[in-house]
Amino acid sequence: MNRFGPILALGLALAATAVSAQAREILVLGLQESGTVLWEIEALQALGLDEKHGIELQIRPLADSRAGQIALQSGAVDVILSDFTWVSVQRGKGTEVAMVPHSLAVGGLIVPADSAIGAVPDLKGRTIGVAGGPADKSWVILQAYYNSLTGAALAEDAGARFGAPPLINELLGAGSIDAGLNFWHWNARAKAEGMVELISVAEMLAALGVAEPPPLLGWTFTEATAEARGEALGAFLDASFDTKAVLLADDAAWEGLAPLMGAADDPALFAQLRDDYRAGIVAHYDPADQHAAEQSFALLARFGGSDLVADQTQLAPGTFWAGYAR
């Protein structure tokens, strides 16, 4: 049985108006093997939106974000998913890359349901598990938020244990750390197991003056690709935004994704992942309106320093591609 049965009719309807496969332009996407972005790509292809927009997507699996950056810069792939700080830093170095927003999803601070930590100032004297390293953006933002509330340095007031996202959840579940700062999809798994999100990174940013959530992740490509293959790139971006619209509005579009999400036999986890993913969907894009990204970058530069943004203090012009709007 087709695991996209509930949306098969829609897929067939779109395919009926598709451009022939021979006429479709090929784009090579470099994507992390376990990344949540694959959920969108799977739905995009199941809906026939690649064919409708006249493109053929070839997926090159990548081990991590660094591998994607290398693959993009070497020309091995056309498009990757990366964050706006990396794109800005590369532009500052003279590397002409640009991006179009893909996701607003961010992580948050997770604690056990019975935790004595009721607010961020309560982290003093505690041990925090942090997914990533000392230059992780969420960790930098949490430190900035803690400083705004207490006037003190969180890195001095609390202990930090850095590690991979699964390890952070494991340590939290075992009681080896008092709180976890993890990526959104790992937090969704923790919440499905009874943990509580004390505050999200988006809420921290809002309290720090960034009222709108910035597009932290985006489809990233070289300007050479944009110039030479702008039509194909635009078609892919259209297909991506069309898919997001379906995933945002249609529960049936998610049913076939459960195995890919690792939630085929866990309805509670499936619902949590779906709902949290939806909260980060980018519904539109105006390249002229990047105030939230500019504010966030300035904040990250102030509290993260050169380890995060090199010598930049402001978002580099052209970080977000002006050749597309939605």
Under the banding of pLDDT at 50, 70 and 90, the label for residue 309 is very high
Q: Assess whether 176 and 121 both reside in one domain.
A: yes
Does 262 score more than 50 pLDDT?
A: yes
Does 19 score more than 50 pLDDT?
A: no
272: containing domain: 5-104+214-309
CA distances from 322 to 97, 124, 164, 166 (A): 12, 44, 35, 37
Does 6 score more than 90 pLDDT?
A: no
Distance CA 205, CA 182 (A): 16
Give the pLDDT confidence of 123-133 residue by residue, as tens digits.
Answer: 999 999 999 99
Q: Assess whether 116 and 96 both reside in one domain.
A: no
Mean pLDDT of 249-257: 96
Q: Look at the chain and report how many structural domains it folds into.
A: 2
* Residue 169 near residue 186 (C-beta atoms within 8 A): yes
Q: Is residue 318 part of a domain?
A: no
What pLDDT does 23 receive?
73
CA distances from 119 to 99, 108, 110, 148, 191 (A): 35, 13, 11, 13, 17
Does 216 score more than 50 pLDDT?
A: yes
Q: Within 10 Å of residue 246's Cβ, how many Cβ atoms?
A: 19
Q: Is residue 325 part of a domain?
A: no
CATH code for position 229: 3.40.190.10
Q: Is residue 319 part of a domain?
A: no
Q: Is 27 helix (H, G, I), strand (E, B) or coil?
A: strand
Boundary (domain end) residue, out of 176, 207, 238: 207
Under the banding of pLDDT at 50, 70 and 90, the label for residue 17 is very low
Q: Within 10 Å of residue 151's Cβ, how many Cβ atoms?
A: 7
Mean pLDDT of 200-212: 96
Q: Assess whether 24 and 87 both reside in one domain.
A: yes
Q: Assess whether 241 and 293 both reside in one domain.
A: yes
Give the pLDDT confidence of 20-51 residue by residue, as tens digits.
Answer: 445 789 999 999 998 999 999 999 999 999 99
What pLDDT does 18 receive?
44
State the residue for tokens 């999100």: 197
Mean pLDDT of 241-265: 97
Q: Assess whether 99 and 222 both reside in one domain.
A: yes
What pLDDT does 261 receive?
97
Q: Is residue 75 part of a domain?
A: yes
Structure tokens at 154: 């969180």
Give the pLDDT confidence of 59-113 residue by residue, as tens digits.
Answer: 999 999 999 999 999 999 999 999 999 999 999 999 999 999 999 999 999 999 9
Q: Is residue 326 part of a domain?
A: no
Mean pLDDT, the chain, rounded, equals 93
Q: Assess whether 201 and 220 both reside in one domain.
A: no
Q: Assess whether 141 and 67 both reside in one domain.
A: no
Q: What is the share, in percent, of the chain residues with pLDDT greater than 70?
A: 93
Does 140 score more than 80 pLDDT?
A: yes
Under the banding of pLDDT at 50, 70 and 90, the label for residue 8 is very low
pTM of the model: 0.90
Q: Is residue 286 part of a domain?
A: yes
Q: Is residue 167 part of a domain?
A: yes
DSSP conformation class of 71: H
The gap between the terminal CA atoms of the chain, to the nearest Å, is: 36
Q: What is the share, in percent, of the chain residues with pLDDT greater than 90?
A: 91
Q: Assess whether 83 and 225 both reside in one domain.
A: yes
Under the banding of pLDDT at 50, 70 and 90, the label for residue 16 is very low
Give the pLDDT confidence of 158-176 residue by residue, as tens digits.
Answer: 999 999 999 999 999 999 9
Nearest Cα to Cα of residue 235 among 16, 55, 43:
55
Q: Assess whether 93 and 121 both reside in one domain.
A: no
CA angle 46, 49, 52 (to 5 degrees): 130
Q: Assess whether 177 and 132 both reside in one domain.
A: yes
Task: Give the lowest-confidence range in 17-31, 79-93, 230-244, 255-269.
Answer: 17-31
What pLDDT does 43 receive?
98
Q: Is residue 295 part of a domain?
A: yes
